[in-house]
Amino acid sequence: MIRSMTGFARIERQYAFGRLSWEMRSVNHRYLDFSLRLAEEFRPLEADIRECLGQYLSRGKIEASLRFFAAAGSAGSGLELNLPLAHELLKVHGDMAGLAGAEQQPDIAQMLKWPGLIEEKRPDPAPLQAAAMDLLVEAAQELQAGRAREGEQMANAIRERLKGVAELTENVRAWLPEIRAGLKQRLLDRIADLPLPTDPGRIEQEVAFLIQKIDVDEELDRLDAHVEEVYRVLELNEPVGRRLDFLMQEFNRESNTLSSKSVDQRTTQAAVDLKVLIEQMREQVQNVE
């Protein structure tokens, strides 16, 4: 089972403290690359988020964004008076007034400017962050499932091309005896037209050399082996994109050799058709995880 590197997932849920929403997009990439957009209260989770996504995804460029909409009337940030500091400031004010021999009311406005007198109290971020991580797992699973569904479609497309490759190699293998016999006869006819006598033994050697030079049995065997290997790899339950990409290179190598050795219009056309099928498979493979 193969998975695509292209996918989309969106998970949204309402909680007592507000609404959380994860949105993820993924496209093909040589490695696993994350681009995260998080609100300030979720920044401490960045390392955990990357680790979590890495458990479900192995390749692709992943864009993930987390949005938070606080519920109306939910406990939010608040201001709190630092009572020990306030009492200390009032005591100092009273001591200064006593030393000056004059009673004076404290200037509250000026006291409020004292650093640390007013503290901002934020709600406990733990429940909010825990909910975000739980929702992240669901989003990652949905993204993985979407990539698997698209991967199955890609696998079917690759299998169809593999059938075409197998048919072409079978056809070429069936044509080979006729092609060899025809090549031998053409060479003998040309030699017979020569004005000078020739050594029959030497002629047979040259004919055998030329037939051996155009022999493509080995290439056809390797193409068949590559077809079987791709079928096997498509069933593996692991990331196989790089392995399939290597096999596409090997397919190209054999098709190029087949084309260079061709001495018949049918095998030449078969090599061209083979290259078309390989390119179509390669385009699919470029997006496999």
Q: Would you state the pLDDT for residue 114?
A: 82
- Distance CA(2)–CA(152), nearest Å, equals 6
* Sheet of strand 32-37: strand arrangement: 7-15, 18-27, 60-70, 32-37
Highest-confidence range of 38-42, 47-51, 76-80, by mean pLDDT? 47-51
For residue 29, pLDDT beyond 70: yes
Are residues 280 and 178 located together in one domain of the fold?
A: yes
Cα 62 to chain centroid distance, Å, stands at 8
Is 19 part of any domain?
yes
What pLDDT is attached to residue 23? 97
Q: Look up the domain containing 254 and give its range.
A: 150-285
* Chain CA centroid to CA 88, Å: 61
Over residues 193-228, the pLDDT tens digits come to 656 555 566 556 655 555 556 678 888 999 999 999
pLDDT of res. 138: 96
Q: Are residues 11 and 28 in the same domain?
A: yes
pLDDT attached to residue 21? 96
Query: Can you read off the two tokens belonging to residue 250?
Result: 């090997």
The model's confidence at residue 45, banded by pLDDT at 50, 70 and 90, is very high
Is there a domain that residue 201 lies in?
yes
As a whole-number percent, the residues of the chain with pLDDT over 70 amount to 85
User: Assign residue 78 a region: left if phi > 0, alpha if psi is -120 to 50, beta otherwise?
Assistant: beta
Q: Which residue has the tokens 């498979």?
A: 281
**What percent of the chain has a predicted confidence (pLDDT) above 90?**
55
Beta carbons within 10 angstroms of residue 65's beta carbon? 15
pLDDT per position as a tens digit, 72-107? 755 555 677 888 888 888 888 788 877 877 777 888
The upper half-sphere exposure of residue 187, i.e. CA atoms within 13 Å in the direction of its Cβ, equals 19
Identity at 116, one-letter amino acid code: G
Structure tokens given for 29: 């990439």
Q: Is residue 40 included in any domain, yes or no?
A: yes
Question: Which of 10-24, 45-59, 170-184, 233-247 shows the lowest mean pLDDT across its residues?
Answer: 170-184
Give a yes or no: residue 172 inside a domain: yes
Same domain, 137 and 181: no
Query: What average pLDDT does the chain have?
Result: 86
Please count the structural domains in the chain. 3
pLDDT category of residue 121 using cuts at 50, 70 and 90: low
Instruction: Give pLDDT tens digits for 133-190.
Output: 999 999 999 999 999 999 999 999 999 999 999 999 999 989 888 877 776 666 666 6
Same domain as 262, residue 233: yes
Q: Which amino acid is at 267?
A: T
Residue 151 CB burial class (10 angstroms; 0-12, 13-18, ≥19): buried
Looking at the structure, do residues 194 and 243 belong to the same domain, yes or no?
yes
pLDDT attached to residue 143: 96
Same domain, 114 and 50: no
User: Could you tell me the CATH number of the domain that includes residue 35?
Assistant: 3.30.230
Query: Do 52 and 104 lie in a common domain?
Result: no
Query: Is 206 or 14 the better-scoring residue by pLDDT?
Result: 14
Q: Is the residue at 2 inside a domain?
A: no
Least confident of 44-58, 107-121, 263-277: 107-121
Same domain, 63 and 116: no
